[in-house]
Amino acid sequence: MKRNQQGYTDIHSHLLPGVDDGARNLSMTEKMLTMAIEQGCDRIYFTPHYVPGKRNASIATREKRLQEVKELIAEKNLPIEVIIGNEIYVYGDKEEIVKSIKAGEIKTMGETSYILVEFSTAIKEQGIWEAVEVFQRYGYKVIIAHVERYESIAKNGEALRKLTEAGVYLQMNTESVIGGLFDRDAAWHRKLVAEGLISFFGSDAHDTEGRAPLMEDAIAFLKKKKIPEHILERICFENPDKLIKDEYI
């Protein structure tokens, strides 16, 4: 894979300290960043949860925490770039979510037109399409977070393909592709990767143990499972490079 020496990009994590159910403090963030580096990452998106209508960390708080992390990275000379975004929980009035994005209360992915969205695991397929239609109408490029979690589409290859054909990008959690010999879910997830339906990987890391910033372990496992190299090259390197440049995939 061509860019191995430059490192992976984790587009979904909860390492920004003290703002959601992820890293509790700066010390925990440092440990998680160190783990991410050990897992081959040189770029990571901080995507704290944003739930419209609920109590969320303020813009000022998020900016303050991000600056603290950047100062830590400089002080410790950590070889990793951090970029801010949000994982947007989508429900209710989508137009109000758009207003919050335009107002800067909800962050896009690194000041691009990409947005990372999540839904209730029980959402119907039609509900996903309704949200996609609104966000695309306003010019946003939609990334669906941990697409393997949604009951209505996760096992429906045709539905997933239609979403990708409509310009929707699907993110899969790295831990979801790892499984034992009889882990049917993990086998299905790897099939989706092999068929080119997954655009991005993210660790969805929340801590240093049960939900750690896993990346290289998952990529190595996929290589062992003979996932085509050009597929991994696209997911791991080409697509993240286009994301950061705000280019279409």
Closest CA relative to residue 43, chosen from 88, 80, 97? 80
HSE-up of residue 54 (Cα within 13 Å, Cβ side): 11
Residue scoring higher pLDDT (3 or 176): 176
139 C-beta neighbours (distance < 10 Å), count: 8
The span from the CA of 79 to the CA of 102, in Å, is: 32
**pLDDT beyond 60 at 21:** yes
Average pLDDT of the chain, as a whole number: 96
The rounded percent of the chain whose pLDDT value lies above 90 is: 95
What is 8-244's CATH number? 3.20.20.140
Longest dimension (CA), the chain: 49
Give the side-chain half-sphere CA count within 13 A for 64.
8
pLDDT tens figures, 59-91:
999 999 999 999 999 999 999 999 999 999 999
Helices and strands in the chain, H and E counts: 9, 9
Quick: pLDDT tens for 34-64. Answer: 999 999 999 999 999 999 999 999 999 999 9
Q: Taking the domains of the chain in order of start, what are their residue ranges? A: 8-244
The pairing of beta strand 141-144 with beta strand 87-89: unpaired
Average pLDDT over residues 24-35: 98
Q: Residue 4: what pLDDT?
A: 47
pLDDT band at 94 (very low <50, low <70, confident <90, very high): very high
> Per-residue pLDDT averaged across 162-187, rounded?
93
pLDDT at residue 103 tops 60 = yes
| Residue 130, pLDDT above cutoff 90 | yes
Q: Which residues contact 58 (CB under 8 A, 6 or more apart)?
A: none
Q: What average pLDDT does range 209-236 have in this prediction?
A: 97
Report whether 19 contacts 206 (CB < 8 A): no
Bridge partner residues of 202 (DSSP): 173
**Residue 181 confidence (pLDDT):** 61
State the SS3 of 67-103: HHHHHHHHHHCCCCEEEECCEEECCCCHHHHHHHHHC
| pLDDT, position 5 | 56
